Amino acid sequence: MQKKFKAGFAVMISLVACIIMAQKPVMTQEMKPAITKEVKPVTNTLIKPELKRTKVMWLNHLDLLPGDPSVKTSFAALRSLTGGLSGLNIKSTTTGDTGIPGGNKVVEMGVPTIPGYTIVGVKVCYELSSPKSHITQIRLSQLQNPPSTALVMLDDGTAHTNKGPVCITSTPTSIDPQKGAVRLSLRLDIGNTADVIVIRGIGLILKPTP
C-alpha cells in the first residue's frame, strides 16, 4: 500500500512539473534581446582646428557694387553669361586690375554681422568664362572710430584661376564685428573685355566668440 502511494505521489509530482514547464514561455530567436554594438561617430581629423565649430552666413551676392565706371554688373534670371546657372555677371570695359581713374578694380559690399560671432574667413562661389579674367584678392576692412579710416583685416591675394564652377575659402582671419562696420571687396584682373566672372554665392565664415 505504501509503495503504491509513493508511486502515485511521484506521478503527480511529474504531472505538476510538466504543467509548469508548459506554462513557461520558450525564448525564441525573435524574443531574444538583440545584441547592440555602440557605433562611435566618425570624426574628420583633417579639419583644421581653427575651422571647427564654424558656420557660414550666406550674403546677398547680388548686392556687390562696381568700384569704378569700368566695372559693369548685371543679372539675368534665365542663365548667366557663361551659359550656366544664373548669378551676378561681372565684366569690365578695360583690362588689368586697375580701375578708372586709378585704384583697384573691385566689386564691393557692406556685410551684416551677428553679435557673439567672430568673422574668421570668406567663402566665394563663382564661375569664369576664361581663367585669364579672375578674382585676385579677397579683402575685408573694418571701419575705425572716428569713421574716417578703415583697417584691412583680411588681405588674401590668392589668384583664383580655376574656371569652376567652384567654391573657395579665403585665408583665415579674426574680426570682432562689434568694433566697427565691415566691408567686403573682390579685386578683379581682367584679361579680355569679352570675359565674364559670375558670382553665385558669397558668405562669411563665423565662429562663436569665446
Per-residue pLDDT of the chain (210 residues; tens, 9 = 90+): 444 444 555 545 555 455 555 555 544 444 454 444 454 544 444 445 555 689 999 999 999 999 999 999 999 888 888 788 999 999 999 999 999 988 999 999 999 988 999 999 999 999 999 999 999 999 999 999 999 999 999 999 999 999 989 999 999 999 999 999 999 999 999 999 999 999 999 999 999 998
Q: Would 183 be classed as within a structural domain?
A: yes
What is the reported pTM? Answer: 0.74
Domain span at residue 106 reads: 49-208
b/e per residue 12-51 (b: at least 16 CB within 10 A):
eeeeeeeeeeeeeeeeeeeeeeeeeeeeeeeeeeeeeeee
pLDDT digit string (tens) for 192-202?
A: 999 999 999 99
Q: Would 37 be classed as within a structural domain?
A: no
DSSP state of 172: P
pLDDT at 43: 42
Q: Is 7 helix (H, G, I), strand (E, B) or coil?
A: helix
Q: Would 34 be classed as within a structural domain?
A: no
Q: Would 16 be classed as within a structural domain?
A: no
Q: Would 33 be classed as within a structural domain?
A: no
Q: What is the CA radius of gyration of the chain?
A: 35
pLDDT at 42: 43
Q: Would 61 be classed as within a structural domain?
A: yes
- CA dihedral over 21, 24, 30, 35, signed as positive or negative: negative
CATH number of domain containing 166: 2.60.120.260
Q: How many CB atoms lie within 10 A of CB 136?
A: 19
C-alpha cell read off for 76: 539675368
pLDDT digit string (tens) for 87-109?
A: 999 999 999 999 998 899 999 99
Q: Would 108 be classed as within a structural domain?
A: yes
Which helix (H) or strand (E) segment holds residue 137: the answer is strand 134-143
C-alpha cell read off for 80: 548667366
DSSP state of 175: B
Separation between Cα atoms, residue 95 and residue 180, nearest integer Å? 34
pLDDT at 31: 47
pLDDT at 149: 96
